[in-house]
Every structure is written in C-alpha cells, then in structure tokens.
Structure 1
Amino acid sequence: MSEPICKVCVIGAGTMGAGIAAQVANAGVPVLLLDIVRDEANRNAVAEGAVAKLLKTDPAPFMSKRAAKLVETGNIDDHLDRIAECDWVIEAIVERLDLKQALYARIEAAKRPGTAVSSNTSTIPLGQLVEGRSDQFRRDFLITHFFNPPRYMRLIEVVAGPDSDPELVARVSDFADRSLGKTVVPAHDTPGFIANRVGTYWLAVAINAAMDQGLTVEEADQIGGKPMGVPKTGIFGLVDLVGIDLMPLLSKSLTSTLSQGDPYFDTVRPLPLVDRMIAEGYTGRKGKGGFYRLDRSNGGKVKQSIDLKTGEYHDSRKPASLPSGADRDLGKLLGVKGKVGEYAWTVLSHVLSYAAMLVPEAADDIVAIDDAMKLGYNWKFGPFELVDRIGAAKLVERLKAEGRTVPALLEQVGSGSFYRVEGGKRQYFGLDGAYHDIVRPDGVLMLEDIKRAGEPLAKTGSAALWDVGDGVACIEFTGKMNALDGEVMKLIQQAIPIVKDRFKALVIYNDGSHFSAGANLGLALFALNIAAYGEVQTLVVAGQQALKALKYAPFPVVAAPAGMALGGGCEIVLHADAVQAHAETYIGLVETGVGLIPGWGGNGEMIDRWQQSGQLPKGPMPAVAKVFETVSTATVSKSAAEAKELMFLRAKDGITMNRSRLLADAKAKALSLVDGYTPPAPPEFKLPGASGRLALRMAAEGFHKRGIATDYDLVVSDSLAEVLTGGEADLVDTVKEADLLKLEVKGFMTRVRDSRTVARIEQMLETGKPLRN
C-alpha cells in the first residue's frame, strides 16, 4: 500500500464536515478545516465558529479537549493551497453539483497527484461530480459517505468510480477502518447508495401506513420498533431525531435520481401535516418539537404526541401491550389480528422486498445491505436477517397470495435461509445460488466466530473461558449487561490454573455493547431485603480475592473494555497488567451513586496510579484528594482518551478506534508482554490518616453547602474518605494493600446496612436514575 495518511483537509465546516474533522483529530491526525469567507474582519470565522460549537456540543464530537488542538482552521480563499500538505481532502459542502464542481477545479490546481479527494455526498452520482476533470483527478476521486454524528456512527459507505485508483481507494478505506473506527461498506454509484436508499423508503412506508391505517405515533413506534430490532426511538421518534425538515429534501433527491418504476415513487405523496409542522417550526428535537414534544406550559415536562389525523397535540398515551411473544417473534407479530399484524406486515413486506431488489443494483451482496442498515440506522437485524426470522418461504407465499411482485432473490433462496452456519463458519446466500463464508477483514477477530466453532474451556452461570488462539485465553462475561456476581468470580479463580498450565496470557473481553455495568444490583438488593449481610460480605471478599488473583497471576492479563465499564467492571480493568480499550469506553467507579463505595480493590489501585504518575506534588494527600474527587462524584470518562486523564487508564494503555479490531489488538498486546513477564509487587501506601479525612470531609461539606451534595452523599463520602486516608493509620504508618482491602469491606458493609443505600439501589433498578436522598 502507498504512503500512509498523515494529514487531512476537510472543506465545509457544517455539521457533517466539522464532525468529520473532529473524528480525524480523535484519531490523532492533524486536520485542516476550511470554509468560505463571510466576515472580512475574521476571514476564518466560519471554521473557527464550527470548532467552538463542537466543543460545546453534547454528546461531544471530540473524545478529549486535546484532540481539538489538532484541528487547524482556515478559509478556501486564503488557504486552499495548503491542501498540498494533505494526503486526503474531504469535501463536505452543500449538496449542489455546480458548487462542488467549481470547488473541484480549484482543488485540482492545488493538490498533489495521488492525494485522495472524496465527497461526503449522499445524493449526487460520482460520475456527475467528476465531469470535466482530468484523468488524474478521476483516479484520485471517490465518495466517502459518513453518517451523523461522525464520531458515534460506525458506518462509512465507500463508492469508487470506474476510473478510481484501487490502491488509493484501499488506502482511504484502511484509514477509515483502523484510524477512524469505521466499518467500510462498499456501495455502488446508485441513488442514496445503500443505507439511505433503504432507510428513506422504510420511513416513508412506515409513516404512510400509520396514517392510512389510523395508528397513533405511539402504536406505530411500538409495533415498528423493538419487535423489528429498531432502536428505542421507533419510527416517528427517529424522524424527530434526524429532523422532519429532511424528509422532503431526501424525497426530492431520490425522486430526481431514481429510475421511473422504482417502488420508492409509490411512497411519494402530499403530506400536509408534515408541511405544516415544518412551516411552524416543529422540525423535531432541533425545533419546537415534532411528532413528539415536551409541553412545558405549566412549569413541568409533559411528553405529548401529535394526532396524525387532526394535527393536534395531546398527552402521550402508552399503547396496549402487544400479545405475548409478539415483541420477540416476528411470526407471532405478523399473525396478530387487526391493526398490529396489519401494520407490521405492511412495513416488513414492503421494506424487505425492496431490500431484496437492491442486490446487485446497490451492493454486491446481502451482507453489505445488512451491515449498512445495522450500522447506519442502528437496526439490530439487517433486512435479510429479518427475512430469516420470518422465513423466506412464508414471506414469498404471502406476497404471492396478495398478487404482489416477488423479488428474484427471495424466489431464489426458496425454502432456505439467507444465512447459515456450516463447519463453525457463518455463511451468506449469494446471487450465484451458493453459500459463501463471511470473511472478516485482516486483523479482525470476533469472539462470536470462536464461540461458533468450539466449546468453552470452562463455564459458569455468568462467565466463560475461551481459547482465542496463539496461546491466549479469554474470559467473557455472559450475564445481562455483563453484570458481575459470584459466578464471575468463580470463573476467574477457575481460569487462573488453566491459563497457567496451558496458555501464555489472558485477555478479558466480550463482544457485547458494554464490558460490564458493574455488580449485579438485583442480586444485591435481594440479599439486603432478607438481611443476608453475610452473603453480601462473602461476595465482596470473593471479588477482592479474584481480582487480586488476576493482578498477581504468573502471566500477563490484558483487559479490553468497550462501552460501559462501571463499578466492578472498572475495578477489573484497574487490576489488569495492561489495557487495550475501545475509543468509546465509558469507565468509572460509580458506587457512591447507589450509596456504596468501591469494594473490590479499586480504591488502592487508583491511589497507586496517581502516586506513581509523577503528575502530582509529593506527599500522601494529593493522590488521595484526586481519587476522592473522582470517586465521590461517581465521575465517568466520556471516552478512552478522557479515561487516561482521569487515570482509569494509564499512559501506556492502548486505544483501538475500530470496535471490531479490539480483541485482536488486545491479544497482540498480551503476547507482547509474555517474554520476561513477572507479576507486580504489592504496593504499600503512605496515607494521610485522620487529618486527611478531616480535609476531605470539609471539601464534601463545601459541596453540600452549594447544593451539589445531598445529606446522604456526606455520609457515603465519609465512608470513602475513611478508606482512602487509611482508617486509623497515622501519617507515619505504612498501609499495606491487605489493610486497605479490609477497610473497603468494613466501609462497604456499613453502607449496605443503611436503609438509604437500599433506597438508592431500588430506584436505580426501577428507573435507571440515581436517588438524590
């Protein structure tokens, strides 16, 4: 492959362009962000304003404030010649062909031959974009369609033209994959590419059907949401999220470029309600509301929804529950009599048939279409996975019974399925009528593939141990939200002798959305309600023993968190020799939020990290104060980069941008530690004792007076302070790790006996929100 991409230029500092620039910076790559001149007094004002807005946006486009420093701003009149410094130029200006073509003429005059140029367009064919450009420009050009917001949406559709240099396309795709964390889906140069082609059709069908069949927005979102694997926003909630004013723009774009006869034209109709909403500023969450809104007229926040017939708002009403099993079984959902089954069939039959028509027009195979919808629209299942859940033969039978056209691909698969497992490998049905292995990109290792091909080395009710190859074993958590309990601790203790005897290293990883949400609070609450305090203490001690066994094991242990790693999940990470974290890792010791303190050794690990960091003044108090500030406020990092700033991760710990590459990277890190490995020595602490505890108490009381800390927060933080300062230890005493663990148990058990802690746990389980008692 040719030279790596070391600097990027993004032209267009709107929402998408600025967001793309931020993600490039998140990858640690310098980026030049340019836009037009609107203010002669400050010619870079547009780009500068975009970066300032990014720094205030929530959820944050930047993974850390440091990343923002990698974005250099400018304007296309004064600084376009600087694209000669860049290896990739991304155009993200307004969707007007004339403006894009004029810009490309200027880019061509300034760029180096071989510098990649791509458009973020989602509506204009590549062939039209490069009209009038040189052969060299055509070789250097492609489309890279990001999804909004660029930091969080994993999909990028890459469209190469007939003249595009395959090596250049591969270089950009590899950078998008490894550095930007994207899943690259090759798409054909067809209107809307893949995700927006299917997604726009889906939303149009679903909205029209809801109006035609007399459903409320809540009913449509219930039927067309969770049962079909659609995110919790549902259909109308999703349109509110992306912006109702985008609906007519997307419709206009597709109708102007699609071939006549495409089923999308059947969905296009006047929507007076939508036109009125847009005219009155009801454009969704970015406006005054949309299909849903919050009524704040009486000083409260009452969720309301719009009546699709009258256009009037009313308090939102939860629809009747779906029949038993219909929320999990598409066959049962489609079989429900009345509006539930009718609406589900209307949406699914049209959308799945449409998706089947698009192979090979929009994509080479079904996998590309499924990946695009799962990654671009957050569907749990792709269209062809949904067909398999219904049964292709049943779908075809019902389509024929209604006299509807059946796509050739649905006919071709017959009574078979689009996906199957053969010889431990997942395969997909191809246009040639044969099944083909789904081949992972080089450097991608997924635990699901290993599990499909073999059996665990050991297993308990909440965890399993797997052989991931090359002498590395992997502990996987398997409970709901990967919560931690005694079965996890049991598996850890079982795994250590197995790994010692048969393997070189151990990785702690799972394919789930979250590494671990922490200890199983449901089990804890059950034990507390029957006053089984002995059982609770046994679990606390067992957790300490298991995590210290990991820490002092005679082989390297690497934790590979992604998503949430909270409470006990964070403590497991803290005890690993090294960490390879996904960039989107949200890590923290959050126990105080439910009236507890960290009890599995996390306090000592955090103190030791800060004391060893060299970032603080010497003495026993600075590190303790840092840890107290972080833990007492239940601070959670908003990225792996921020986790380093909070010391949940160390400077030497690795960060993987692409979630699919995390296990392979963690495995490589573990193997790199094998030669000459020796376990760490147990730390010893100099802690501030009673005087330090008083100082922490005064700090907490200051928060209390400002209304930041509640009455019970003071009590919980005092238990935390007792552990962090060494309990009864004097300033001159040395506190051993074992002593700190005993203090943790004492403080933890004191708190679980308090009814106010029980109340906090109950509310967290019921609502997912902390109780501020």
Structure 2
Amino acid sequence: MKKRTIRKVAVLGSGVMGSRIACHFANVGVEVLLLDIVPRELSEAEAAKGLTMESKAFRNKIVNDALKTALKSKPAPVYKKGVEKLISTGNFTDDMSKIASCDWTIEVVVENLDIKKKVFEEVEKYRKPGTLITSNTSGIPMKFMCEGRSEDFVKNFCGTHFFNPPRYLRLLEVIPGPSTDQEVVDFLMNYGDVHLGKETVLCKDTAAFIANRIGVYAIMSGMHTIQDMGLKVGEVDKLTGPIIGRAKSATFRTMDVVGLDTTVKVSNNLFAGLPNDESKDRFVLPKIVSELNDRQWFGDKTKQGYYKKTKDDNGKKVILELNLETFEYGPKSKAKFKALEAVKDLENVRERIPVLLNFEDKAGDFYRKTFYDIFRYCTNRIPEIADELFRIDEAVAAGFAWELGPFETWDLLGVKETAEKMEAAGEKPADWVYEMLEAGHTSFYKNEGRQSWYYDIPSKSYKVVPGTESLVMLETLRGENVVWSNAGATLFDIGDGVLNLEFHTKMNALGQENLEGVNTAISIAEEKGYKGVVIGNESANFSAGANLAMLFMFACDQEYDEINLMIAQFQKTMMRARYSSVPVVAATSGLALGGGCELSMHCDAVQAHAETYMGLVEVGVGLIPAGGGTKELALRVSDQLKSGDPEYNRLQDAFMNIATAKVATSAEEMRNMGFMNEASRITLNRKRVIADAKTRVLELSALGYAEKNQRRDIKVQGRGGMALFEAGIAGMEYANWASEHDAKIARKLNYVINGGDLSSPTYVSEQYLLDLEREAFLSLSGEKKTLERIQSIIFKGKPLRN
C-alpha cells in the first residue's frame, strides 16, 4: 500500500467553507495554501489607498478578506491564536502552480459543475501526480466532475464533504468516484478519523449523499407536519432540541442560523433530482417555508427569519417569534405539554425518548408522526444511499448534531412493536425490517464481547461496526464488566488491566457519590493489581463542577463545620488521585469546570478531546477554587519559575484566569492556561478519548510508575506578590470593572495564591496552600452575596453579578 503523509494542503476557494476548512487543517499542524480568484475591478477607495490592479494586496484581496472574516467569526475556527500562521494565501491566476508542493488539493468553489471543471483543468496543469485531489461538493455527482480528467486524476479523486463549521461538526462524508483507488478511500477514512477528528462515513455517489438526504428530508417533512398540526415556532424548538438529543438550536433557530435559502435550495434540488423517491413530495415547500422564501426572510443573514431580534421601548434587546399563520412577529411562545413535564426529571435521552413517543398528548402525536416517518424513509434508502444501516446513523448524528441516529432511536422503542405502530399509522417500513424480525433478530444493534454489532441486511446476520474494534465503548461493557457502582458512578474493567470510572450525575456534577467513586476506583486498582485508572465518560461533558445543592443547604443553615468537612473530603480525594500508587488519567471532553477542572489537574495526565472547555469558574458563585485548583496553579507556576523559563512568569495570568472565571475554548488553550501538564495529550476524535486515555495509563505504568511524595517546595511570593495584585484589584474596582463582592473574592484569592501573610518569597507545602484555600472558601460561603449567586445558579441556571 502506498504510504501517504499530509504535510501541506491546498484549499481552492476561500468562502465560508473553504476558509474554515483551511483553519481546521492548520489546527492539526498542517501547512495550508488557500487560493481564490482575483478581484475583477479596482474600487475608488482602493485606488485612493494607492492600490493598483497589479499589486499583490489587490490581487489577493478576496482570499485575505475571507480569511480575516473567518478568524474573527464566533465560534472561533481555530484552537488557539497563532495557528493561522500556517496558512499562506494567493490567487488562482498567479499562484496555482504552488499546488505542486501540496500533498492534497481540496476544491471548495461555488456549487457549479462548469466552474469546478475549469478549476480542475488548472489543477491538472500543476498538481503532482499521485497526490490527492478532492471536492467538498454537497451534491454534485463525482462521475460528472471526473469527466475529461486524466487517469491519474480520477484514480486519486474523491469527494470529501465537510459540514459547517468544520472545526465543530464531526461529519466528513467520503464519496468515491467511479475510478477512485481503494487505497485513496482507505486513507481518507483513516485520516479524517484520526488526524481531523471526524466521523468519517463512506457514502455512495447519490443525490445529497447520506446526511443531507436524510437530514433535509427530516426537516422538510417535519415542516409539513408542523403546518398540519398548527404548532408554534417556540413549541417546535422546545420539542426538537436537547429534550430528544438534538442541537440546542433545534429546528427553526437552526434554519435561521444556516440560512433558509440554503435549506430551500437543497430541498428543491432533491425534489427535482429524485424522480423515483416514494416520498419526494415532502421536499415540496410548505407555506411556512415558501412564504418566508418569497419574502426573502432567510434568517440571521437578512436580520429576520423565524425569529427577529429587536429592541423594546426601553432599548432592551428582545427576540420576537414568527406567527406561522399570520406571518407577523410577536412574543416568544412557551411550550406547555404534559409529555415534557413527564420527562423533566429524566437526565438520559435514552430514557426520555420512549416516554415522549408513547405519551398521549399533542407532543406525543407530533413525535410519533415525525419519528415514524423518518424511520420508514430510512429503511427505504437502503441500499440506495448506503448498504449498511449504521452509516445512516453515523452520518445523520454527526452532520446534524443528533445524539442518536434513526435506527439507534428505533431500537430504544422496540423494533417489532414500533414497526406494528408504524404500519397502523400508514408508515410501513421496508420489507427487510420484517425479514429481520422473522429471522428472530429483534434489534438493529447489539452489544456483545466488548463490541458493538449492527444487523447486516444482505447476510441477515450481525457484524461488528467497522472502525470500532480499537475503541473503548462503555455502553458495550455494562453487565459483566462492571466492577463496582453507586448512584452517581460506575467502575468498568476496560481490559488490559485498566479500570474506567464513569460519572452519571446531572451534568456529571461532583457530589458525594462521585468522590466515593474516585476513592473506590483507586483502592480497587491498588489492591487488586490493576495497572491504573481512567476517569472518563461518553456523555457531552466531563463534569460541570461540584454539586452546589449540599453546600447551599449547609451555608443557609450556617453549618460551617459541615462545609469544612465537605471541602476537606474533596481536597483529600483530589490528593488521592495525585498520590496513588497507580497512574490515574482524566479523559475529558465538553465542559470540565470548577471541581471537574480540579480533578483533571490532580490526575497524572489529562487525555483531552480537542473540544474540551476547562476552567476554574468558582468566582461566578462567589467562591474561590478550594479543591486544590488554586494550589495547583501556584505549584505549576512555581515549577516553571524554578526551571528558569522566562516565558512562563505567569502567576498573574493564573490569578486573572481564576478571578475572571476564564474558560479555555479548546484543549490547546487549556495547555496555555496551565491546566495540562507535560504528560497530558490531546485526542482529535471524541470517540477515541477513552481508548487513548487507557493507552496513556499503560504507558505510564510501563515506565515503572511509583507513588510520589507530597510537595513541600512550592515557591510563593507572600506580601510582595499580594501588593502587586492588590493594585490591580483596586484599579478594577475603581473603574467599576469589578463589583465590591468581586473585589472581596479577588482579595481572598490573592491571599491564597501568594501564600498568605509571608514577609518574603517562601517555600511552602501543598497542604499549607490547601488549608489557605479551605479557610478562604469557608469565609466566603458565609457571605450573603455568595449565597445569592449560588441560589441563582441552582434555581435559575443563570450567573448573578452582584
């Protein structure tokens, strides 16, 4: 097999997708050449600045402006500032020859076949034979783009359809052309997975491929149902968001963000291009879509769509909602359905969905109509768009941010029972479903032997889901691989002498059960000869922090001895993770805040998903980090200062990060903020984090891991450091950048991170700093304004600035 190495990539087209694809390649350390067209004419303003038609600044204006816009956009397309230095820019006319130095050329120009063919003609003149050439088309067939191209071109040509924004949406569809070498397909599937962190899904060369074919059908068919049932915009977005494991933007907000015109264009193309689709009429625009399209109310890009931002008489920003009958804007509607009330205490979406679909009210009716319809549609798309059902689940879930794919969802409801209900509702699934059931197979997936298996239609048997053999999937281990559990945590044997501790409290907030889990996991590993422990889960967040409810109750009752014991236990557990006789690795993703950050920092290493958002945010509830977080940053800064590194004199940065509750927006930024030590690593693909953390445990164990002694050599600055920081605190307070209570918290933090009332820089122990943390935390927990902040978070879910 040919060995490929991707050192440099050319991205042809710098629009919204092209510029952000370039940024994501730069994120993973690849050099990028980003090209676009030369502007057609010089404006008067440009001429006034001294630009000429021949000047480089003018000829590269389109690509440079596009890259600047991308870098300023939110959410940011880059992991950290500076990676954009890997991107060089140019234009098609002057710089196309530079693609000769690239290992992979990606075409991302406008969705017009004639234009793409012209670009490919130029590519053929300069591209080095054997290098990859792919298109980011969202629907133009590969066979048409290959027409007239050389044998080497078509052998190395493939579709690579990224979803926007490329950094955040996990899907990468790989679509082979009619003559694509298998080696190229295999390489792209692996590279997208391991190096770009994508859910790489192999697609057939069919209209809109997999994700858009199913996802847009779900949207447009859902629109017909919404119109028929007379549902309101706000009601629908409540029903179709996180409650069923979908994106927070749900249906209508997503349409506004993406742009209604984009959805309409795809839907119209599918209607025209699918004469044999039995449900093609669902792609016809219902009035609640066509009316907005006619009025050009496309959403955010036109300042109004299904929602409209405006200001009230007092100048306060308000969001109005479109009435789908009158097409006038009014106050946002509230969803009041008994079905939603019935699931409000169910944290897991796998528990909520069966309740919602079986509930007898208008919400239940809506769910049954839409879910049964999409189930039926998916069964009829096999083998048209995919031979294997798992590819549909993977593509739709990753491309549209669904927690569960259609077939995974159907499994939750019972395949046989749901098929009967679907048939009664006029949504009869394809014959292969009945054949599966008649053969005695009752589910589309099953977990067996630490593996996930899918039902393979041609062979009428189960096969291992490809690509999962090297993963650690906790869902496949429930049962005989559970070593220990309580109400908030489960300990798994994940093989090769490694344990994994999973949290499953709400938002994985750390309470008594979780702390018990950490201590128990380490004790079992030490006593029974395991090589180490991973702390990680498969949910959206590692941990949103400590459970505040118990603290609030004790503080309200002024039970300060109980609070002191609670903090001491938390600190002791963090130190247990640090000073065990086996390696402990945190496998983080999503939010890792407050106590979740502190736990991660006390592990021997962090194996972080690239999209981990970590921070010490305790000041938001009127406190300082007291689970070792303040101590740990002081320790790490001390180590860097002792090593003589002039670039890491960052005690003030550490202080400000805590005082302003700054949260790292990526794992790379976590490293810069001091949350990751030298032993820590980053994983691009979320599905691989626990497996990589397990490998890290084994590596640390193989190096002859030994229990360490607690540190007594942390250099703190004492009064000198405190005086320096006090000037800043006073200045922020004077300028009204910090409230009186903010300043009080900052002064407590200042005292702790500088080691207290010491006359000169001094070496202190970890326990000394932990005691200072605990004392400061205790005093702040008795403050009225702190209790107000905690109350706001617990009961309103909103931070309070007082």
Moved more, 181-190 or 660-669: 660-669
1:587-629 per-residue CA deviation (whole Å, 9 max, x = no partner) reads: 111111111111111222112212323599889x954323211
1:567 CA drift (Å) = 0.9
> 1:116 and 2:132 equivalent?
yes
Structure 2, unmatched stretches of 5+, are 43-52, 345-350
**Counterpart residue number, 1:355:** 378
Matches within 5 A, 1:151-550: 151-226=167-242, 228-269=244-285, 271=287, 274-278=289-293, 280=295, 282-298=297-313, 299-323=315-339, 325=342, 333-334=356-357, 339-401=362-424, 406-414=429-437, 416-422=442-448, 425-432=451-458, 434-439=460-465, 441=467, 444-449=470-475, 451-452=477-478, 454-501=480-527, 502-550=529-577
Q: Which residue does 2:592 correspond to in 1? A: 565
d(CA) in 1 for partners of 2:730 and 2:387? 64
Distance 2:14 2:286 in 1: 33
State the Cα distance separating 1:15 from its structure 2 match.
0.6
Per-residue CA deviation, residues 493-530 of structure 1 (Å, 9 max, x unaligned), is 23333222412233222222111111111222222223
Deviation at 1:561, TM superposition (A): 1.3
Say which SS state the counterpart of residue 613 (structure 2) adopts: strand
TM-align CA RMSD: 2.4
**Which stretch shifts more, 239-248 or 98-107?**
239-248
In structure 2, C-alpha distance between the alignment counterparts of 1:668 and 1:233, rounded to whole Å: 36
Q: Give a deviation string over 1:719-761, Cα, whole Å, max 9, x none.
A: 1111112122221543222111111110010011111111111
Distance 1:194 1:468, change over 3 A: same
Partner of 1:5: 6
Deviations 1:105-124 (A, max 9, x none): 11122111211111111111
Alignment partner of 2:206: what SS?
coil
Matches within 5 A, 1:578-597: 578-597=605-624
Alpha-carbon separation, structure 1, partners of 2:300 and 2:642: 42
Farther off after superposition, 406-415 or 96-105: 406-415
Given candidates 61, 75, 78, the residue that maps to 1:59 is: 75
Aligned residues: 771
Paired with 2:544 and 2:513, the residues of 1 have a C-alpha distance of: 16
Describe the shift of the 1:138–1:453 C-alpha distance in structure 2 as closer, same or farther (beyond 3 A).
farther
Bigger Cα displacement from structure 2, 38-47 vs 717-726: 38-47
- In 2, the alpha carbon distance for the partners of 1:709 and 1:277 equals 45
Deviation, 1:570, is 0.9
Indicate the SS of the match to 1:492. helix
Deviates more, 1:647-656 or 1:404-413: 404-413
User: Residue type matched to 2:586 in 1?
Assistant: A
Q: Could you say if the C-alpha distance between residues 548 and 308 of structure 1 is closer, same or farther in structure 2, counting changes exceeding 3 Å? A: same
Q: Is the 8 A contact 1:611 1:623 kept in 2?
A: no
TM-score by length of 2: 0.91
The answer to whether the 8 Å contact 2:217/2:282 transfers is no
| Correspondence for 1:759 | 788
Counterparts in 2 of 1:54 and 1:683: CA distance versus 1, 3 Å: farther
Gaps of 5+ in 1: none
Q: Which residue of 2 aligns with 1:660?
A: 687
Task: State the shift of 1:91 in Å.
Answer: 0.7
The answer to whether the 8 A contact 1:206-1:235 is kept is no
What's the CA shift for 1:64? 0.7
Question: Partners of 2:690 and 2:361 in 1: how far apart?
Answer: 47
SS at match of 2:501: strand
Residue identity opposite 1:357 in structure 2: N
Q: Classify the secondary structure of the residue corresponding to 1:159.
A: strand
Structure 1 residue 28 corresponds to structure 2 residue 46: no
2:86 and 2:469 map into 1 onto residues whose CA distance is 28
Query: 2: distance between equivalents of 1:10 and 1:476?
Result: 41
Is 1:138 aligned to 2:163, yes or no? no
Equivalent position amino acid for 1:325 in 2: A
User: What is the alpha-carbon distance in structure 2 between the residues aligned to residue 602 and residue 211 of structure 1?
Assistant: 52
Q: Distance in 1 between matches of 2:454 and 2:95?
A: 48
- Aligned in 2, Cα 1:670/1:329: closer, same or farther, shift over 3 Å? closer
| Aligned counterpart for 1:47 among listed residues 63, 80, 86 | 63
Contact 1:208-1:267 within 8 A present in 2 as well: no
Q: Are the structure 2 counterparts of residues 205 and 529 from structure 1 closer, same or farther at C-alpha, using a change threshold of 3 Å?
A: same
Deviation (angstroms), 1:339: 4.3
User: After superposition, what is the alpha-carbon deviation per residue over 1:205-259, rounded to whole angstroms, capped at 9, x for unaligned?
Assistant: 1112222332222233334445543333222222122111112211232133223
Distance in 2, Cα, partners of 1:462 & 1:329: 19
CA separation in 2, counterparts of 1:129 and 1:465? 52
Greater mean deviation of Cα atoms: 427-436 or 155-164: 427-436
Deviation string, structure 1 residues 427-481 (Cα, Å, up to 9, x no partner): 3222136342433526742241552353333333323332222222223222221
Helix, strand or coil for the counterpart of 1:53?
helix
Instruction: Quote the Cα distance in structure 1 between the aligned partners of 2:392 and 2:512.
Output: 42
Taking a change above 3 Å as real, the CA distance of residues 267 and 733 of structure 1, as seen in their structure-2 partners, is closer
Q: Sort the Cα spacing of 1:251 and 1:494 in 2 relative to 1 into closer, same or farther, 3 A.
A: closer
Q: Secondary structure at the match of 2:301?
A: coil
1:649 alignment partner in structure 2: 676
**Residues 644, 531 of structure 1: alpha-carbon distance in 2 compared, 3 angstrom cutoff:** same
Measured after TM superposition, the shift of residue 667 of structure 1 is: 1.9
CA distance in 1, matches of 2:173, 2:140: 14
Q: 2:444 is matched by which residue type in structure 1?
A: F
| More deviation, 198-207/544-553 | 544-553
Per the TM alignment, residue 17 of structure 1 is displaced from its structure 2 partner at its CA by 0.9
In structure 2, the CA distance between the partners of 1:260 and 1:506, relative to structure 1 (3 Å rule), is: closer
The match for 1:729 is: 758
1:40-74 CA-to-partner distances (Å, cap 9, x unmatched) read 34212222112211221111000011211111111
What CA distance in whole angstroms lies between the structure 1 residues aligned with 2:239 and 2:764?
59
> Is this contact kept in 1: 2:237–2:249, CA < 8 A?
yes
Aligned-partner SS, 2:208:
coil
Q: What residue identity is the alignment partner of 1:644?
A: R
**CA drift at 1:282:** 2.6
| CA distance in 1 between partners of 2:427 and 2:602 (Å) | 60
Q: Report whether the alignment pairs 1:709 with 2:732.
A: no
**Which residue of structure 1 lines up, in the alignment, with residue 705 of structure 2?**
677
Q: Conserved in 1, the CA contact under 8 Å of 2:619 and 2:745?
A: yes
The answer to whether the 8 A contact 1:425-1:453 is kept is no
- Residues 685 and 336 from structure 1, CA distance in 2 versus in 1: closer, same or farther, beyond 3 angstroms? closer
What is the Cα deviation at residue 303 of structure 1? 2.5
| Identity over aligned pairs, percent | 36
Distance 1:335 1:493, change over 3 A: closer
In structure 2, the residue corresponding to 1:24 is in which secondary structure?
helix
Mark the CA change 1:329 to 1:496 in structure 2 (over 3 Å): closer, same or farther: closer
Q: Is the 8 A contact 1:4 1:171 kept in 2?
A: no
